[in-house]
Amino acid sequence: MHKRPLAVIALFFMLGIVLGRLLPDSVTLFHVFVVTLIFILLCLLLALISRRGGFQTRPYSIDGGRGKIAHTFLFLSIISVGALLYLNSNIFPPNHISHFLGKEKLKSEIIGTIKSPAEARGVYYGKVNSRYVFEVEEISNLYRSAIGQTSPDRRSEEVRQKVNGLALIRIQTEKDYEYGDRLLVKGTIKIPNDKFQMTNKFQIPKKQNFNYREYLERQNIFAIINASEKNVTLLSRDYKSNPILKYAYLVREKIKNQFLEKMPFESGAFLRAILLGDRSELPKKLNESFRNSGTMHILAISGLNVALIAAVFLYFFKLLRIKRAVYYGLTMVLLVFLMILTGSGASVVRATIMCVVFLAGLLLGRPVDIYNSLGVAAFFILIINPKDIFDIGFQLSFIAVLSMVYLAPKLMRAVKKDWNFYIRKYLLEPFAVSISATLGTFPLILYYFKMGTPIAVISNILIVPLMFVLMIGGMCFIALGWLPFIGDMLAYFNNTLANIIFFLAEFFAKVKFGHFNI
């Protein structure tokens, strides 16, 4: 443990969350709290006795029988804290929206606030639908049967119920609502179905057993609201809005409009996906091409994206001759802002925390260990929402990085050192990284998506470097796209490069035996 303490702590913490999910209903939060308290007290007591007895000789190492027992209780404490947080995440106040709804649609008047930019847009039955995260405050026309009074003579009675909790609202409108808009909605509300529905993050074939309700509940969303534009009334703007989030979403919207105005639809939507994390208008055909070619991961903002942006910030501040401590700090702040701007998905949060830890280590002159950085990132994400450990994106993100860090160096050791430097550096190393990521994520992809993509080993070697160049072009377009001539040149360059990537993804997706379904 003394070599990578943060990684070990994160590992036991995650084990605790998994065990918390497996506990029977008879085990309550109070039971786990008492056990956790006992473990922590025993750990502290034994550690204190060991110190007084002179058994501790170096950091993170406690010699002697009592010291080993103290270590055991430390691990048990971490496990029980993980289980405690998971159980606590499933406890809601009496007025939470989940207590009042059933699977059948309920016609209601709902008051609430938009808490996100549009997550997805699509045409259904000839009408444009926009989807938002919606914080519900009040439901009226709520039948008493919905709150536990099932007597037939009372079903006609109507009540107004103050509630809290998040819902996913779908509005048939081409109008854009903004974060902080408080709305009065006349429509239907119900709990999500268990069966498959299309999500904005993953395109999952219908034949798979994807539990849509669990997927939304992991994001603390417990209801689905459907309404048409004529039944939506704007009550106020900027209602209880966070100014930092508000500003981040405004910047995001301006950048999005810049792509819409000067670039073709498909390439503009692709750039918004890899730079802003906005996949709301990415065509279904492109999603299928990237999925079947094993390059779906490039649509998620991840370590590559964040590292590139961090490098650009560092280089820019260095050119301005700003003090090293200052521009490292500014870069960390800007990376956190970028995380908010892109929606704070698991992959971008993980990458941002790792970059911040790495920069902080350089600033303090401390060695940075990749496993400890991953541990800090996982711990931070799961402290906020323990249910994220069961999210497909979280698992793929961390497993991919671990696989590349652990397997790639081992694969490169098999290569003779007398090989040409450029072949090793620019051909074999990317190939080793690609194989490592593919091998590491293969079991998860096979389990969740019921498919394998062996072609990913080759497709990633060609597509990822092009995406790297496209990201640089995209950032230049964001900064200079407003200029008349330069903006048009950058738009043309980015569109050409995006179309090359689309061609390669489609080509590899069609390669025989390149992907298979089970």
Where are the domains positioned within the chain?
5-88, 97-241, 242-294+455-518, 304-390, 391-452
Identify the weakest region by mean pLDDT among 10-19, 133-142, 423-432. 423-432
Instruction: Quick: pLDDT tens for 11-69.
Output: 999 999 999 999 998 999 999 999 999 999 988 888 787 666 554 444 444 445 566 78
pLDDT at 137: 93
Identify the weakest region by mean pLDDT among 114-128, 245-259, 323-337. 114-128
Cα(503)–Cα(218) distance, integer angstroms: 35
Cα(146)–Cα(86) distance, integer angstroms: 27
Cα(64)–Cα(205) distance, integer angstroms: 56
Query: What are the helix (H) ranges across 23-63?
Result: 29-52
Identify the weakest region by mean pLDDT among 17-21, 88-92, 373-377, 417-421. 417-421
Pick the CATH number of 97-241 from 3.60.20.10, 1.20.1630.10, 2.40.50.140, 1.10.630.10: 2.40.50.140
- Torsion, Cα 89 90 91 97, to 10 degrees, reads 110
List the Cα angle 7/10/11 in 5-degree steps. Answer: 85
| Pairing label, strands 221-228, 166-172 | parallel
Say if CB 112 and CB 185 are below 8 A apart: yes
- Report which residue type is found at 57: T
Identify the weakest region by mean pLDDT among 7-11, 368-372, 490-494. 368-372
Q: How confident is the model at residue 225 (pLDDT cuts 50, 70, 90)?
A: very high
pLDDT > 80? residue 218: yes
Cα(317)–Cα(2) distance, integer angstroms: 36
HEC states along 121-140? EEEECCEEEEEEEEEEEEEE
Cα(251)–Cα(437) distance, integer angstroms: 33
pLDDT at 500: 95
pLDDT at 151: 46
Identify the weakest region by mean pLDDT among 51-65, 221-235, 344-358, 495-509. 51-65
pLDDT at 210: 67
% of the chain exceeding 90 in pLDDT? 23
pLDDT > 90? residue 147: no
- Report which residue type is found at 229: E
Instruction: Quick: pLDDT tens for 302-337.
Output: 766 787 788 888 888 888 888 888 888 899 998 888
Cα(88)–Cα(388) distance, integer angstroms: 14
pLDDT at 198: 45
pLDDT > 60? residue 146: no
Diameter over CA atoms, the chain: 87
Cα 331 vs. chain centroid, distance in angstroms?
21
Predicted structure pTM score: 0.80
pLDDT > 80? residue 424: no
User: What contacts 261, CB < 8 A, 6 or more positions away?
Assistant: none
Angle of helix 324-341 relative to helix 243-262, nearest 10 degrees? 80
Encoded tokens for 290: 């990237």
Say if CB 425 and CB 375 are below 8 A apart: no
Instruction: Quick: pLDDT tens for 428-456.
Output: 787 788 788 888 888 888 888 888 888 98
Arithmetic mean of pLDDT over the chain: 82
Cα(134)–Cα(137) distance, integer angstroms: 9
- Element containing residue 187 per DSSP (H, E): strand 182-190
Instruction: Quick: pLDDT tens for 337-347.
Output: 888 888 777 67
